[in-house]
Amino acid sequence: MSWHVDEPILDLYASGTLGDPAVYSVEAHLVTCTRCRGELSTRVDESRLDRIWVGVRDRVDAPRAGIVERLLVQAGIPSHVVRLLMTTPSLRPSWVVSVAVSLAFAVLADRLVGAGALPFLVLAPLVPVVGIAAAFARPIDPVWEIGAATPLGGFRLTMIRAAAVLVLSVALAGVAALGLPEPGWTLVAWLLPSLGLTGLTLALSTTSAGMPNVAGAVAATWSVGVVLAEWLADQRLAAFDARGQVLLALIAVASIVVVVARRDAFERRVGA
Amino acid sequence: MDQASRPSESDADLVTAIGGGDALALRVLYERHAAWLLVRLSHRCADPALVEEVVQDTFLAVWKGAPHYRGEGEVPAWIWGIGIRRLIDRLRRHRAMALFDPLAHEPSAEDHVLLGIEHGDLAGALDRLSPELRAVLQATVLDGLTSREAGRLLGIPSGTVKTRLMRARRELREGLA
Amino acid sequence: MNVTVEFTHLEKRYGRVRALDGVSCEVEPLVTGLLGPNGAGKTTLMRIAATVLAPDRGSVRLLGRDPSSATDRVEIRRRLGYMPQEPGFYRSFTTFAFVDYVAILKEMTDRASRHDEVRRVLTQVGLEDVANRKVKTLSGGMRRRLALAQALLGDPELLVLDEPTAGLDPEQRLRFRELISQLPLRTTVLLSTHQTEDVSALCERVIVLAGGEIRFDGTPPALAVTAGGRVWIADGRDDAALLAWRMGDGRYRHVGNPPPGATLVDPTIDDAYLLMVGDPSAQEGAAA
């Protein structure tokens, strides 16, 4: 390249006082000439360029927020809480999909076979139980030891994740319930049992039994209990009547008390 | 900004590296091209804060789009294409002030002389065009925009862009003849 | 003496093995090395110091607080940095995103200042160039540095590092030493290692832990001195020694009980450590 822009012209161009035809000439040239671009750089305010770069670098480094993350932030949840949730195993799409499918099946069973919403009502409260078991199973969280030494790790993180799983499960079940053939109280009859079973699972996990065992025990007891109640009382969906709801509500409240009192058990879960 | 400048790597090499996730290469590319981009965009939009945001957006787009860059045209032209289109998007959305003030850039006597030496009659012919016709020429020929994009930048319908372009070319031809 | 970490009669048992058998010591705002053979003792003590594990018996005071109380524990953790021996990561996270996650767990809720702090610790350990790479693409040495970086978040008063130099090449070791020496003076560093060179290069105090007991608690030079009179050099190998090896000049260095008339030499920390932990009878006594 034999022709280069004269320095006085570059000065004028950089300061915005160069006239039009010359501007075109310079700009067309700059696209192809490294040397003149470099010359121009020396005439631009470096701190301005640095400031712009910091903005670029921040957005390049920052963890990329997926769609779900952005939606949750829009919904008003603080962005740092959302980031914590993003590492909860049971909030992964695969789990959400399998839960949605199971619930859909239960609803379908009801519509096709006319089982009177029993499959759905038994299944829906178990969804958060399974979700929490998956979220807490220690081998699944490789970062547990680092997390255990942090202020939020341990009890508080556990509760944040449990709450997220519960909310998501309730939301999924709520949507699925709309598909039940006989709407009415069955739309919400599973809600208190959800809370009760979730609380019970958390409370029992403070014992030395281990989360998977506890979750399994709760699931089994619930399923058997529902069937048993129906058979004993000789009434459909006996477990979900007023007495049943009250009982489960009491279990939920008692569980909360136990969980808070035994919060130590959620920390320092280092294996023997 | 005096980090390793990787002088042996061409811009295309850097873009390939950026496509592979090399953030340092992005830094080097930035050091080579951010300055002229800033100045050139400032000649199209008088709002300095907006221009800075567009430069930032442009390099972010380079970061994201580097894997898809297939070497179509030179890297500076590619960067300019991203930048000017970002600017147009912003101007459309925010209806920002003073997109391009055609009357702000009347050539000075000094420019006349300097350009006369380098470019002969063309500069004179360009000079004799009205600012509106010059703006259209700059947007389409120099900046590489379509008539629609040029219209968005200048705030005129794309049909008007086309007619002005025809007039500009005709007048230039007559001026050079 | 400003005591920041205090262990009193700690006991911890795993089944039939007593990992800690009545451990008591006081630690100040210095760099203290915990030296000992691989086994349950060191990591158990580090985990207790990091509030991740509770002892079966005995009391702990960290930064003036009692970790058995839930509120105190959170307060301790706000001033604590912990690098576990086998740290785990979210492998699909980028380096930056991972440290950012831990920073959130350390209650750094403001995004902008948090990102600045993440960048600061990454630069401190020399990982700023790979901030955008996924953890699974990092080498083993880089991952150790990553584990160290998260421990440095927030400039903790108490830094508990379990085997921080394991798997580091000599150059990385040097950088690590530089890093430690540049920490604020008020920082208490408790680091465990089974390599004596770390102790002599870095530590102002050393505690030797073997068989669940503390065998030594003092300065590195004082540790070396305990082997005084038990290190000698001879032209041939003497099999009665506890340990003997051939040196560069062809002679043999021995550690143990010297025969009469042996040429004694000044002991090093290595020699003292070997004498303390190389004695099989001492280790047997600790097992239930």
pTM over 0.80: no
Report H helices in chain A. 7-15, 20-30, 34-41, 46-61, 67-74, 79-85, 93-113, 118-123, 126-136, 144-148, 155-177, 191-204, 211-233, 242-261
- Residue ending a domain, among C217, C237, C263, is C217
Are C124 and C258 in a shared domain? no
Which chain B residues are Cβ-neighbours of A30 within 8 angstroms?
Answer: 36, 40, 76
Q: How many CB pairs under 8 A join B and C?
A: 6
A269 has pLDDT over 60: no
CA distance A140 to chain B (A): 28
Report H helices in A63-125. 67-74, 79-85, 93-113, 118-123
Are C191 and C72 in a shared domain? yes
CA distance A198 to chain B (A): 43
Cross-chain residue pair A149–C107, CB shorter than 8 Å: no
Which chain C residues are Cβ-neighbours of B24 within 8 angstroms?
Answer: 129
How many domains is chain A partitioned into structurally? 2
Comparing alpha-carbon positions, the chain A residue that sits nearest to B127 is A21
**Which range of residues forms the domain containing residue B80?**
1-99
Rounded Cα distance, A199 and A181, in Å? 29
Which pLDDT belongs to residue B94? 65
C71 close contact with A: CB closer than 8 A: no
Rounded Cα distance, A103 and A121, in Å? 10
How many domains is chain B partitioned into structurally? 2
CA distances from A113 to A109, A110, A116, A180, C36 (A): 6, 5, 8, 12, 68
Which chain C residues are Cβ-neighbours of A146 within 8 angstroms?
Answer: 82, 84, 87-88, 102, 147, 150
Which stretch of DSSP H or E encloses residue C171? Answer: helix C170-181
Q: Which residues of B104-138 are buried (b: 16+ CB within 10 A; e: fewer)?
A: ebebeeebbebbeeebeebbebbbebeebbbbbbb
Are B156 and B111 in a shared domain? yes
Which pLDDT belongs to residue B99? 47
- Residue C70: give its domain's CATH number: 3.40.50.300
Are B19 and B33 in a shared domain? yes
Comparing alpha-carbon positions, the chain B residue that sits nearest to A12 is B111
Which pLDDT belongs to residue C221? 94
Are A96 and A216 in a shared domain? yes
| Burial grade of C19 (CB within 10 A; 0-12, 13-18, 19 or more) | buried
pLDDT digits (tens, 9 = 90+) for A136-159: 765 567 888 898 899 998 788 888
- Strand ranges (DSSP E) for B11-167? none
**Which range of residues forms the domain containing residue A131?**
67-266
**Residue C208 near residue C39, CB atoms below 8 Å:** no
Residues 155-194 of C with CB under 8 A from A: 160
Neighbours of chain C (3+ CB pairs under 8 A): A, B
Are A128 and A188 in a shared domain? yes
Instruction: Per-residue pLDDT tens, chain C, 288 aa: give them.
Output: 789 999 999 999 988 888 999 999 999 999 999 998 887 689 999 999 999 988 999 999 999 999 988 889 999 999 999 999 999 898 888 999 999 999 999 999 998 899 999 999 999 998 988 898 889 999 988 999 999 999 999 999 999 999 999 878 888 889 899 999 999 989 999 999 988 888 988 899 999 998 889 999 999 999 999 998 889 998 888 888 888 888 888 888 888 888 888 889 999 998 898 888 875 543 333 333
Are C63 and C174 in a shared domain? yes
**Residue A271 counted as domain residue:** no
Comparing alpha-carbon positions, the chain B residue that sits nearest to A35 is B32
Report percent pLDDT > 70 for chain A.
92
How many domains is chain C partitioned into structurally? 3
Are A237 and A261 in a shared domain? yes
- Residue B108: give its domain's CATH number: 1.10.10.10
Cross-chain residue pair C129–B24, CB shorter than 8 Å: yes
Residue C138: other Cβ atoms inside 10 A: 19
Cross-chain residue pair A61–B23, CB shorter than 8 Å: yes
Of C78, C87, C97, which is closest to A63 when you measure between CB atoms? C97
Residue with tokens 């020399």: C126
Are B10 and B92 in a shared domain? yes
CA distance C121 to chain B (A): 18
Query: Mean of the per-residue pLDDT values for chain B?
Result: 79
